[in-house]
Amino acid sequence: MKYRKLGHTEIEVSLIGLGTMTWGEQNTEAEAHEQLDYALSRGVNLVDTAEMYPVPPMAETQGRTETYIGTWLAKTGRRKDIILASKVAGPNTDPKRPGYIRSGQMRLDRKNMTEALHASLKRLQTDYLDLYQLHWPDRTTTIFGRPRYPYRDDPYTVPIDETLGVLQDFVQAGKVRHVGVSNETPWGVAQYLKFAETKKLPRIVSIQNPYNLLNRMYENGLSEFSHLEGVGLLAYSPLAMGVLTGKYLNGARPEGARMTLFSRFDRYANPQAQEAAAQYVQVARDHGLSPATLALAFVNQQPFVTSNLIGATRMDQLKENIDSVDVELGDEVLDAIKAVYQKYPNPAP
């Protein structure tokens, strides 16, 4: 396994991080524990979850993913062997976001964040998180596939410095070691850094945003913050919800696959993304690689990536995903990827 620094901290996190959002929906508790055991045996130490998980979000399953991690921690006693990250949900201003958590009161304010953190710690059976992340902003902006800034005036948003002040109290209480953001924009990251400096509040160490061959928007603006400010990317959806494996090509819907089971996962289903995916799959095959390995190795090699958050429902997928850490894409492969990108730049932002 390879490791990279988490922001400006002294924490070394594995380049492959273990995503967990299928646990409790597509994966049982026993399967979740098996994945944890195997991932740690391969040197993975970053485990990422959220109060909202599993996905797709439903009231009857909310929190189950954290519960499964908690029972594994209680059984194994391996809390110090992992870097444990979770997320607090933001406001439910979009139909696809859950409205049942805390009775729909999901603002990033003191009351809601305190309740969220304590509930997560209880489910996880731990007294602290290594990284606590804001799952999405407390404002309307360009996230979750929205391609353009909406120019909408929200009736109310929690000020960013207020949210950071709550996180500061969590850190001072020893319940959170470091803080990060997720699904953020360059403007948002700049605000968090500004208030950290001007008001002596916690500095964000990471940003968890989508990044894959079909969505390289992170490179435009946010990667500069990674380089110059040390806010590293925890890249989610590196396989574009499985589209980059090729299993959905030509309209295929394999039994048990995410896009087969759940119609809400349509971000990478447009014709341009499907055609681009087909060409990336061909690049992989032309160079003797599996499509998943090509897609993951590309993410692994980016200098702004702190950890590549893979997710798997089967053990063979998990093993292949972790194996990608040992694959280095050469210039010929990268040139072929570049050629596809020039034809289909960011077809699924």
- DSSP, collapsed to helix, strand or coil, labels residue 305 as strand
Q: Rounded to whole angstroms, how far apart are CA atoms 137 and 140?
A: 7
The angle that helices 160-172 and 186-198 make with each other, rounded to 10 degrees, is 60
Task: Outline where DSSP puts E strands in the chain.
Answer: 3-5, 12-14, 16-19, 46-48, 83-88, 129-134, 176-182, 206-208, 232-235, 305-310
CB 200 within 8 Å of CB 172: no
Known catalytic residue at 218: no
How far apart, in Å, do the first and last CA atoms of the chain sit?
Answer: 30
Between strands 12-14 and 3-5, the pairing is antiparallel
Among candidate residues 3, 53, 248, 344, the one labeled active-site is 53
List 87's β-bridge partners, or say none.
133
Best CA proximity match to 234, nearest among 9, 15, 37, 2 = 15
Annotated active-site positions, please?
Answer: 53
